[in-house]
Structure 1
Amino acid sequence: MSRHEIFHALVEAWNGGDVDAVLSLMTETVVWHIAAAAIPPVSGKAAVRAVLAKLRSDMAETRWRILRHAESADLLFVEGVDAYRRTNGVEVAMPYAAVVEFEGNLIASWRDYIDTRRMESLRAGDTPPDYLCALAT
């Protein structure tokens, strides 16, 4: 199974609301940079589970998708769109990129690169500019 196929399974599990399946694809000592360089990373499955549970509690529907990827050995690069509807009805669609490192067939390190200010603006219900909409379709 390729790194992309493993990550695609994670995306499908997340979109299906299956946090346990998401976690099953990570090492016990996984390090997740939810917004690399913007906020501190989350370390270990228990901490990741807590973050994922908090995120899910505010998502009525998720439509996360990967648009492009490249992989080499134990490294996967992805570009995609984090799209979801919040429980308050606000629609969010934000382009992002990530670097994912594997140990065997499990994710050991994950760095998401995202504009946190724009994400918070979208989460608040602000209308995205046209150029952002073009990237998120």
Structure 2
Amino acid sequence: MDCILCGEAIESVDHLFSACKMAALVWNKLSEWAKIPPIFAFSFRDLVSIHNGDGVVRKAKDIVRGLIMVVYWCIWKAKNANFFSNGKGCSEEIFGEVKALGFLWLKCRSKHKNIVWRDWCISPLYML
């Protein structure tokens, strides 16, 4: 079956999360927003360890790892929405959801309880 997000390749875990054009746009937006080195991955396994890269400040590793998990979830949800509901998700919508869910995750599940949405939207690592 072709990828439901890009229609350009056979869907697999590696394709969906690393090779799909839609996913690549989301990863690019994440790296720009978080001010971390560009995310290049050839497989799902590559993405799992991105937060340990040289360009990620030690204090930011947990936040970056959490955001990567949120991206996984948002890409998976977009794929299912397109498949089951004939959705027309785009990278901007997926990334908007990454920002919102990432904010809620961090505010509710970390020591950063006082984060501010306005500042978060500018940079998810502003509090470090």
> Between Structure 1 and Structure 2, which shows a larger proportion of helix residues?
2
* TM-score after normalising by structure 1: 0.31
Q: Which has more strand, going by share of residues?
A: 1
Superposition TM-score, scaled by structure 2 size: 0.32
